[in-house]
Chains A and B, each alone.
Chain A
Amino acid sequence: MIIRGDEPEQLRLIRKLYKPGNYFLQGNEAVAYGALFAGCRFYAGYPITPSSEIAETMARELPKLGGYYLQMEDEIASIAAMVGASWTGLKVMTATAGPGFSLMQENLGYAVMTETPLVLVDVQRSGPSTGQATKGAQGDFFQARWGTHGDHPIVAVSPISGQDAFWETIRAFNIAERLRTPVVVLFDGVLAHTRELIKIPDVDEVEITYRKLPQNEEEAKLPFGDPHGDGVPPMPLFGHGYFTHVTGSTHKENGLRDVYTPEVHDRLVRRIHKKIEGNREVYEKYEEHFTDDAEILVVSWGVTARPALGAVLKAREEGIKAGLFVPKTVHPFPGERMRELGKRVRAILVPEMNLGQMILEVQRFVNDDVLLKGVNKIGGVPLTVEEILREIRGVA
């Protein structure tokens, strides 16, 4: 029983096809190559702007690696097919944008409940509804967190550049495999379509994780148990004679449905939460610049983190003690670090391409005596260094 994508043959193909070096790529292409390096060999999707180049790149490259590209009839079918394929041992991905992400939410919840590893890239565009279909935005911060129903944990990562998108996509796969859970990549239309220099590494420089498989019959009989105490059950793949039963309904450790016993639901849902909350070291990641002596802290994520860094650098040139905190995993939010930083600064600015979403997470972890202010811009055009700098000067 193997997870396909890690065989020497696959590594040989990657090495042969993608020579290490510098390339001039779109952010979307960087996501696709990241996925291929991470071992993704199944992509099911439905084209939607501004994510389509991810599908196009996968359609072109996957067959070379012996992988499967499926263009499904809609987004719901796409994530459904991914779940089916993941249970056969394939590493799977899809990419979409706001409206498609909305359609995927029900089965995203299914993947959480059935503990199915998958990677879902949401190339955010402005909304609500069709909005500005071709423009970037950061409006899906909470759709990633609360889009599906019920009590559920979610892990979401957010790259800040094309190069970062390559590595963060790989990291998303590793988190998904390690914790047997869906992982959302919150990308955006601006970076998706920006072409920049992207360094493709040698395949040996890429660390790859694979999901835990049952070591014996006993573990295989408990596809939703917790034999290792870390909350992550080994995954008995389909086709190996284990007669595994998988359902989105509340189920016991052996997979069989039990929706009537309160304790069964409580035990299952709490464990699914615990395996995310209790394994922060697997996914928690943030970047810091000049936070040691900062008096004014800029907290930013995704595409906006780059002009934010530009603004902080310029502010430093002007003698303003500004710093930058960038959560790279945005859900679960790095709240403890945010709390520590919040105690040390006078003012916090949160620039985002929305009318204020991540700022609500920041607010949960800072005291009232800190000046907290959003720097918000919508309309599909990213925030500039000047716009953020002006706000820093305003609170300096």
Chain B
Amino acid sequence: MAKEIYSTYPMVKYLRKEALPTALCPGCGGGTVLNAFANAVDQLKLDPKDLVVVSGIGCSAWIASPYFLADTLHTTHGRAIAFATGVKVGLPDKKVVVISGDGDLASIGGNHLIHAARRNIDITVILVNNFIYGMTGGQVAPTTPFGAKTTTSPYRNIEHPLNVSETVAAAGASYVARWTTAHVYQLIESIKKALQVKGFSLVEVVSQCPVQFGRRNKMKEPAEMLRWFLKNSVPISKAKKMSPEELEGKFVIGEFVNRQRPEFTEELNKLIDEVQEQFGLKEV
């Protein structure tokens, strides 16, 4: 049965078959993200040999590592972007992609996230935001909505969530977009753009975790969560005309920034050229 599914799924060529089936729960948004990423790679006709995928710790870190068939580096909790920075400097001609969760990248890894954006290093980050620490059992995250229930906010969450996309856009990234797993085609287009932008790019994917988040917040079924996303999504153009009160609890979707700024590895190699020139070290 499983074999038949794999053999008819056209994107299977991008997957590390010996690692399947995935460890993700039924109804998880992770599969949608992996599918969108594989489709983006396919549509851009990228050779997986030109990709290095890095991830941290947690459910979302598993999406592409080990399942995506490329060089993959599965790192310590929160540090994926820092590891990816070293990879990108060593292999500036490859596409370096980080796929991990909100707990990993925006909480423990928040410092690396904003500094990579500031540096504008050419790394594509796909941040899967499911508002929760899934793998550790559904604890409160820095992205958990105000008032939501989790295993460590059993009465209600009294902290305000971090707006990851706005933060990264403010920190200086070249490209930032946010979609939900209910906006698959837009998501694929954004991942394609992010992969092509020269500079730091972030695609935030609001994703469902029916098991750890939905179950405790009256959305036990995956479809209920997707309906919640659709009902509360507001395009960024419309959101600009809305008051903060009106935007409370909404998901602003679309492109936050798309701009050109000097990119880190290019600047680094340019600097090396200048210095070697200055000290007369160039081979004549």
Asked whether A247 and B281 contact (CB < 8 A) given A85-B87, A106-B76, the answer is no
- Segment from B28-36, B133-141, B213-221, B272-280 that makes contact with A: B272-280
Cβ–Cβ < 8 Å partners of B231 in chain A: none
- B86 contact from A12, A16, A88, Cβ within 8 A: A88
CA distance A82 to B79 in the complex (A): 12
- A247 contact from B16, B70, B74, Cβ within 8 A: B74
> Which residue on chain A has the smallest CB distance to residue B84?
A84
Contact between chains at B279 and A256 (CB < 8 Å): no
Q: Within 8 Å of chain B (Cβ to Cβ): is A24?
A: no
Interface size on A, residues (CB 8 A): 49
Cβ–Cβ < 8 Å partners of A9 in chain B: 283
Q: Within 8 Å of chain B (Cβ to Cβ): is A73?
A: yes
Contact between chains at B275 and A77 (CB < 8 Å): no
Residue-wise, chain A 73-85 has the 8 Å CB interface mask toward B (1 for contact) of 1101110111111
Q: Quick one: which of B193-211 are within 8 Å of A by CB?
A: none
- Segment from B48-56, B145-153, B160-168, B255-263 that makes contact with A: B48-56
Contact between chains at A77 and B74 (CB < 8 Å): no
Q: Within 8 Å of chain A (Cβ to Cβ): is B242?
A: no
Q: Quick one: which of B68-100 are within 8 Å of A by CB?
A: 69-76, 79, 82-91, 94
Inter-chain pairs besides A243-B72, A244-B72, 19 sampled, C-beta below 8 Å: A44-B86, A63-B276, A64-B276, A64-B281, A73-B111, A80-B76, A80-B86, A80-B112, A84-B89, A88-B87, A92-B86, A107-B79, A110-B76, A239-B91, A243-B16, A245-B16, A247-B73, A256-B18, A257-B74
Contact between chains at B71 and A239 (CB < 8 Å): yes
CA distance A351 to B42 in the complex (A): 64
Q: Within 8 Å of chain A (Cβ to Cβ): is B65?
A: yes
Q: Within 8 Å of chain A (Cβ to Cβ): is B268?
A: yes
Contact between chains at B66 and A242 (CB < 8 Å): no
Contact between chains at B279 and A238 (CB < 8 Å): no
- B85 contact from A70, A76, A89, A106, Cβ within 8 A: A70
A-B contact pairs, 27 of them (CB 8 A): A42-B86, A64-B275, A72-B115, A73-B111, A77-B82, A77-B111, A78-B82, A80-B79, A80-B82, A80-B83, A80-B86, A80-B112, A83-B86, A84-B89, A85-B87, A87-B73, A88-B90, A110-B75, A238-B90, A239-B90, A239-B91, A245-B71, A245-B72, A245-B74, A248-B74, A248-B75, A256-B66
Q: Which residues in A have some Cβ–Cβ distance to B below 8 Å?
A: 9, 12-13, 16-17, 42, 44, 63-64, 66-68, 70, 72-74, 76-78, 80-90, 92, 106-107, 110, 238-249, 254, 256-257
Q: Within 8 Å of chain A (Cβ to Cβ): is B271?
A: yes
CA distance A90 to B111 in the complex (A): 25
Contact between chains at A246 and B74 (CB < 8 Å): yes
- B90 contact from A12, A13, A90, Cβ within 8 A: A90
Asked whether A85 and B112 contact (CB < 8 A) given A16-B281, A72-B82, A110-B76, the answer is no
Name the distance in Å between A103's Cβ and chain B's nearest Cβ.
Answer: 11
Contact between chains at B87 and A87 (CB < 8 Å): yes
Q: Within 8 Å of chain A (Cβ to Cβ): is B25?
A: no
Name the distance in Å between B45's Cβ and chain A's nearest Cβ.
Answer: 16
Q: Within 8 Å of chain A (Cβ to Cβ): is B19?
A: yes
Contact between chains at A64 and B86 (CB < 8 Å): no
Cβ–Cβ < 8 Å partners of B72 in chain A: 243-246
Contact between chains at B112 and A84 (CB < 8 Å): no
Cβ–Cβ < 8 Å partners of B115 in chain A: 72-73, 77
Cβ–Cβ < 8 Å partners of A74 in chain B: 111
> Which residue on chain B has the smallest CB distance to residue A61?
B275
Interface size on B, residues (CB 8 A): 40
- A17 contact from B79, B94, B281, Cβ within 8 A: B281
CA distance A42 to B265 in the complex (A): 13
CA distance A63 to B274 in the complex (A): 9
Q: Quick one: which of B178-199 are within 8 Å of A by CB?
A: none
Asked whether A77 and B71 contact (CB < 8 A) given A9-B283, A63-B271, A66-B272, the answer is no
CA distance A232 to B74 in the complex (A): 21
Name the distance in Å between A93's Cβ and chain B's nearest Cβ.
Answer: 12
Residue-wise, chain B 36-62 has the 8 Å CB interface mask toward A (1 for contact) of 000000000000110010100000000
Cβ–Cβ < 8 Å partners of A13 in chain B: 281
> Which residue on chain A has the smallest CB distance to residue B69?
A243
CA distance A16 to B74 in the complex (A): 40
Asked whether A66 and B79 contact (CB < 8 A) given A81-B89, A84-B54, A246-B72, the answer is no
CA distance A88 to B90 in the complex (A): 5
- A76 contact from B65, B82, B94, Cβ within 8 A: B82
Contact between chains at B79 and A76 (CB < 8 Å): yes
Nearest 7 interchain pairs by C-beta: A88-B90, A84-B86, A80-B82, A85-B86, A81-B86, A77-B82, A247-B74
Name the distance in Å between B262's Cβ and chain A's nearest Cβ.
Answer: 16
Contact between chains at B16 and A77 (CB < 8 Å): no
Name the distance in Å between A279's Cβ and chain B's nearest Cβ.
Answer: 26
CA distance A257 to B115 in the complex (A): 30
Cβ–Cβ < 8 Å partners of A256 in chain B: 16, 18-19, 66
Name the distance in Å between A27's Cβ and chain B's nearest Cβ.
Answer: 25
Name the distance in Å between B218's Cβ and chain A's nearest Cβ.
Answer: 34
Contact between chains at A77 and B85 (CB < 8 Å): yes
> Which residue on chain A has the smallest CB distance to residue B19?
A256
Name the distance in Å between B119's Cβ and chain A's nearest Cβ.
Answer: 9
CA distance A24 to B90 in the complex (A): 33
Cβ–Cβ < 8 Å partners of A239 in chain B: 49, 52, 71, 90-91, 94
Contact between chains at A85 and B90 (CB < 8 Å): yes
Cβ–Cβ < 8 Å partners of B48 in chain A: 243
Asked whether A81 and B85 contact (CB < 8 A) given A63-B275, A257-B66, the answer is yes
CA distance A82 to B91 in the complex (A): 13
Cβ–Cβ < 8 Å partners of A90 in chain B: 90
Cβ–Cβ < 8 Å partners of A243 in chain B: 16, 48-49, 69-72
> Which residue on chain A has the smallest CB distance to residue B276?
A64
